[in-house]
């Protein structure tokens, strides 16, 4: 017997795909249970959600005693991607987080103000990107859990104070410390595979506090002494200089695209896009919407930047940023 799920079900289910928070998952699944029609054709689906809710609640209770300890070692990813900010003392990481988001991290003019990871959400157009502020890194100081935070993130922003005594030396010091921890920072366009002894992490160098000086000399030195492929980005968290462009560069560094679903005969919603890595196919979209679409998909109609309205495509179609997709089964 067919499930005959209403359109509201698929709209709410999208929220489930975009969160890793157990409490949010429970609320969304409870909402889905209230939407699902109650008949024989949906009994298995109802049982599935009830089982998942029960397991999440049980797991949450087990984690209560150790949640505070574990939060220092791992932060669940949220939004379109996770970006970790690292840097030497007083580089302005916390101020940059405050300027890019609506968060209120502790900001001060003395070093080591940040002593634990601080997540915040940055809005870029119609998506949210998770930024994580972290304690400073020096030759003599780096938290044991810091390396796992860096490895788990999708992108690293190395924040450098352009007014420091030697910004290039600051970069090289952090590179050296991380290499000792088996992490190598590489430019965004680097094609190097993971090394045998090093975890290669894509990184963007951000020169902060540029309101106080000309950075052309620093940029030249970075290319000469650090890595010619590194193209540092200059901004000012205090004066909000270049921050809109920085938001755009952060999103692009995640290498993800946004796709919108459309119900036949209705207008698409652009407020809650599906997020995929570049190279994903139409079948990835179908699986994200519902397993029934992936199983029974015949074709789709696409509205996009380089296609005429409603162009018919097959299952092998590669998704493009901004595509509006109408699935047909």
Query: What does the alpha-carbon distance between residue 145 and residue 207 come to, in Å, rounded to a whole number?
Result: 25
- Which one, of 268, 270, 263, 258, lies nearest residue 300 by Cα? 263
**Rounded distance between C-alpha atoms, residue 285 and residue 11, angstroms:** 14
Among candidate residues 2, 5, 7, 6, the one with its CA nearest the CA of residue 261 = 7
> Is-same-fold flag (73-253; 256-329)?
no
- Lowest-pLDDT choice from 13-22, 80-89, 147-156: 13-22
Distance CA 218, CA 165 (A): 11
pLDDT for the residue numbered 64: 55
What pLDDT is attached to residue 70?
46
DSSP 240: T
Q: What is the pLDDT of residue 300?
A: 87
- What is the reported pLDDT for 1? 53
What are the residues whose beta carbons fall under 8 Å from the beta carbon of 299, sequence distance 6 or more? 312, 313, 314, 315, 328
Kindly state the average pLDDT of the residues 152-165. 94
Mean pLDDT computed over every residue of the chain: 85
Residues 243-263, mean pLDDT to the nearest whole number: 93
Supply the pLDDT for residue 253. 93
- Which are the contacts of 150, defined by CB distance < 8 A and separation ≥ 6? 84, 86, 156, 178, 183, 201
Q: Where are the domains of the chain?
A: 1-65, 73-253, 256-329
User: Minimum mean pLDDT among 181-185, 278-282, 287-291, 304-308: which range?
Assistant: 304-308
- What whole-number distance in Å separates Cα of residue 1 and Cα of residue 121? 43
Report, at the CATH architecture level, how domain 73-253 is classified. Answer: 3-Layer(aba) Sandwich (3.40)
Residue 271 confidence (pLDDT) above 90: no
DSSP H or E stretch at residue 252: helix 243-253
Which residues does 27 contact at the CB level (< 8 Å), separation at least 6? none
Per-residue pLDDT, averaged over 9-31, amounts to 85
pLDDT in tens, 106-146: 665 545 555 688 899 999 999 999 999 999 999 988 888 89
Cα 284 from Cα 234, distance rounded (Å): 37
Give the β-pairing of 127-133 and 82-86: parallel
| Closest to 146 in 3D by CA, of 125, 117, 167 | 117
Percent of the chain at pLDDT > 90 equals 39
Residue 55: its pLDDT value, please?
83
Q: Which residue from 251, 329, 252, 318 is spatially nearest to 285, judged by alpha carbons? A: 318
Class of CATH domain 256-329? alpha beta
Over its C-alpha atoms, the chain yields an Rg (Å, rounded) of 23
Q: Rounded to 5, what percent of the chain is helix, strand, coil?
A: 35, 25, 40
**In whole angstroms, what separates CA 67 from the centre of its chain?**
22
257 has a pLDDT exceeding 70: yes
Nearest to 311 by CA among 322, 295, 326, 298: 326
**Residue 72 burial by CB count (10 A; 0-12/13-18/19+): exposed, middle or buried?**
middle
Map residue 251 onto helix, strand or coil.
helix
Read out DSSP for 50-95?
Answer: HHHHHHHHHHHHHHTTTHHHHHTT-----BT-EEEEE-STTS-HHH
Is the pLDDT confidence value at 85 over 70? yes
pLDDT in tens, 192-248: 666 667 899 999 999 998 866 668 888 888 988 898 889 899 998 888 889 999 999
Q: How many Cα atoms within 13 Å fall on the side-chain side of residue 50? A: 8
């Amino acid at each position: 017997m067919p499930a005959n799920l209403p359109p509201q079900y698929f709209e709410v289910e999208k929220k489930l795909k975009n969160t890793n928070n157990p409490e949010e998952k429970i609320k969304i699944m409870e909402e889905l249970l209230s939407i699902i029609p109650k008949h024989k054709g949906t009994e298995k689906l109802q049982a599935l959600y009830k089982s998942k809710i029960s397991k999440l609640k049980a797991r949450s209770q087990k984690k209560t005693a150790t949640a505070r300890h574990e939060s220092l070692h791992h932060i669940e990813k949220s939004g379109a991607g996770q970006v970790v900010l690292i840097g030497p003392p007083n580089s302005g990481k916390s101020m940059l987080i405050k300027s890019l988001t609506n968060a209120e991290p502790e900001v001060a003019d003395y070093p080591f103000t940040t002593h634990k990871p601080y997540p915040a959400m940055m809005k870029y157009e119609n998506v949210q990107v998770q930024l994580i502020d972290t304690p400073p890194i020096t030759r003599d100081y780096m938290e044991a859990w810091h390396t796992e935070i860096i490895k788990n993130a999708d992108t690293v922003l190395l924040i450098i104070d352009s007014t420091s005594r030697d910004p290039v030396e600051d970069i090289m010091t952090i590179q050296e410390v991380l290499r000792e921890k088996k992490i190598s920072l590489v430019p965004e366009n680097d094609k190097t595979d993971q090394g045998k002894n090093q975890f290669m992490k894509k990184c963007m160098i951000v020169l902060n506090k540029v309101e106080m000086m000309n950075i052309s000399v620093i940029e030249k030195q970075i290319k000469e002494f650090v890595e010619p492929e590194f193209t540092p980005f200059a901004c000012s968290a205090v004066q909000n200089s270049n921050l809109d462009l920085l938001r755009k560069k952060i999103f692009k560094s995640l290498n993800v695209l946004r796709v919108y679903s459309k119900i036949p005969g209705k207008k698409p919603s652009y407020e809650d896009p599906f997020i995929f890595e570049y190279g994903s196919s139409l079948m990835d979209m179908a699986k994200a919407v519902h397993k029934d679409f992936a199983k029974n998909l015949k074709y789709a109609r696409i509205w996009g930047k380089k296609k005429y309205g409603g162009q018919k495509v097959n299952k092998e179609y590669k998704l493009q940023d901004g595509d509006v997709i109408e699935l047909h089964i």
